[in-house]
């Protein structure tokens, strides 16, 4: 019995490292965008497009890293479109985000058709479990380099928001339009850059999906990670470091179903697969209680104003 508990825990650790990575990238991207006072629901579309572009590029060039770069570029362009359109007068960023989401998935499905069958070169894992003889441990500690990149990006973003001129400017624009005007900051340009860069991060999250785990391209690849990232950012309190913890929590919840399967528990299969969504709901309810307003929410977000 204790053996199977250990197996489940190990499988959950392994799973959570894998499942959490796309969450991490999309939530960091969303966090960056929202800090500038704009919301981007289009990141779901960016995620899917990123996955397709990464897979196709890796297949054509043989280099998965070229695929990651291409996915980031695709995100940059799609996010840039969102940023540009939203800076026009009277454009609602939520509605525009939904349009971008549909456009992104549509483009990905259209151009991705020929890549469903062939197999591209995937990203290699780093074997942190080399010291162990147990295949489960080795498997659990096979970590994708993108996960480490994500952690570094979170720390970098946190530092950027607190100790760089660019980061502080993004926060001013996102929190108080009056202050930004009084300081003469270029509001639209700042938001444009934050949105485009945020989407580039989301695109990398997509590359992880198709080039590492699950490691293939098909139309059912994303199951709403891009949208759940918005919830993730809320209970990370718009703090990139918290995004790491939140993503790991989501990853663990997402890994629950498959891990239980490894020890032969198959009842409630679909129930366990719903765990991340249940976690989303529960966490949102718990964190939204009590307080007068959401601590840390950028003042200019259209949902908060």
Partner 1 sequence: MTTAIGVEAVGIGKHFGSFHALSDVSLKVRPGSVHGLLGENGAGKSTLVKCLLGYYRTDEGQFIVDGREASIERPADADALGLGMVYQHFTLVPSMTVAENLVMSRQNVPNIVNWRSEIAGLKRFMETMPFKVPLEVQVGSLAAGERQKTEIVKQLYLQRRFLVLDEPTSVLTPPEATEMLGLVRDLAHSGALTIVIITHKLKEVAAFVDEVTVLRRGRMAGSGSVRDLGPADLTAMMIGEPHAPKNPERQGIPSAEARLVVSGLRTAPDAGRKGLSIGSIEVHAREIVGIAGVSGNGQKDLVEVLGGQRPAESGSVTVDGAPYRASRTESLAHDVRVLPEEPLRNGCVPSMTVVDNLNLRGFDVGPGKSHRSWLDRAGMAARARNMIAAYGIRTPSPSAPIGVLSGGNVQRCVLARELDGDVRLLIVANPCFGLDVKAVAETRTRIMAARNAGTAVLLISEDLDEILELADRIVVMHEGQVVHEMPAKGADPQEIGRHMLGQH
- Using the contact rule CB under 8 A, the part of the chain among 42-50, 99-107, 127-135, 166-174 near partner 1 is 166-174
Question: Please, what sign has the CA dihedral across residues 81, 84, 87, 91?
Answer: negative
Answer for the pair 206, 48: CB distance below 8 angstroms, yes or no. Answer: yes
Cβ burial of 117 (10 Å; 0-12, 13-18, 19+) is: exposed
> Residue 166 or 288: which CB sits closer to partner 1?
166
Q: Considering only residues 246-305, where is the footprint of partner 1 by CB under 8 A?
A: 290, 292, 296, 298-299
Q: Considering only residues 203-232, where is the footprint of partner 1 by CB under 8 A?
A: none
> Residue 114 or 184: which CB sits closer to partner 1?
184
Judged by CB under 8 A, does residue 237 bind partner 1? no
> Residue 138 or 171: which CB sits closer to partner 1?
171
Q: Of these, 80, 139, 145, 171, which contacts partner 1 (CB under 8 A)? A: 171
Q: How far is 21 from 205, CA to CA, in rounded Å?
A: 7
Half-sphere exposure of 222 (CA within 13 A, CB side): 31
Token readout for 296 is: 């840390």
Total residues belonging to the chain: 305
Q: Of these, 110, 114, 131, 165, which contacts partner 1 (CB under 8 A)? A: 165
Judged by CB under 8 A, does residue 186 bind partner 1? no
For partner 1 (CB under 8 A), the number of binding residues is: 22
Please, what's the largest Cα pairwise distance for the chain? 65
> Residue 194 or 249: which CB sits closer to partner 1?
194
Judged by CB under 8 A, does residue 162 bind partner 1? yes
Answer for the pair 129, 141: CB distance below 8 angstroms, yes or no. Answer: yes
Q: What angle do CA 151, 155, 159 make, to 5 degrees?
A: 165
Residues lying near partner 1 in the complex (CB under 8 A): 162-166, 168-169, 171-172, 175-176, 178-179, 181-184, 290, 292, 296, 298-299
């Amino acid at each position: 019995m204790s053996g199977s508990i250990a197996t489940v825990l190990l499988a959950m650790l392994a799973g959570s490292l894998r499942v959490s990575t796309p969450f991490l990238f999309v939530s960091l991207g969303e966090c960056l965008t929202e800090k500038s006072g704009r919301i981007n629901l289009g990141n779901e579309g960016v995620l899917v497009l990123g996955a397709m572009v990464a897979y196709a590029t890796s297949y054509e060039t043989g280099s998965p890293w070229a695929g990651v770069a291409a996915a980031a570029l695709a995100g940059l362009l799609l996010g840039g479109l969102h940023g540009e359109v939203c800076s026009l007068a009277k454009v609602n960023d939520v509605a525009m985000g939904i349009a971008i989401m549909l456009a992104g998935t549509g483009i990905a499905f259209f151009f991705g058709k020929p890549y469903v069958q062939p197999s591209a070169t995937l990203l290699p894992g780093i074997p942190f479990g080399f010291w162990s003889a147990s295949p489960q441990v080795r498997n659990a500690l096979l970590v994708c380099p993108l996960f480490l990149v994500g952690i570094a990006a979170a720390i970098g973003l946190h530092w950027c928001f607190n100790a760089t001129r660019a980061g502080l400017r993004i926060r001013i624009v996102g929190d108080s339009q009056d202050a930004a005007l009084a300081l003469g900051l270029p509001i639209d340009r700042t938001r444009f850059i934050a949105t485009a860069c945020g989407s580039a991060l989301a695109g990398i999250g997509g590359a992880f999906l198709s080039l590492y785990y699950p490691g293939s391209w098909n139309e059912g690849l994303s199951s709403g990670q891009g949208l759940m990232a918005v919830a993730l950012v809320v209970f990370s309190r718009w703090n990139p470091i918290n995004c790491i913890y939140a993503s790991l929590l989501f990853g663990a919840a997402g890994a629950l179903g498959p891990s239980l399967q490894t020890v032969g528990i198959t009842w409630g299969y679909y129930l366990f697969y719903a765990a991340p969504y249940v976690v989303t709901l529960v966490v949102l309810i718990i964190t939204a209680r009590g307080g007068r307003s959401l601590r840390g929410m950028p003042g200019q977000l259209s949902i908060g104003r």
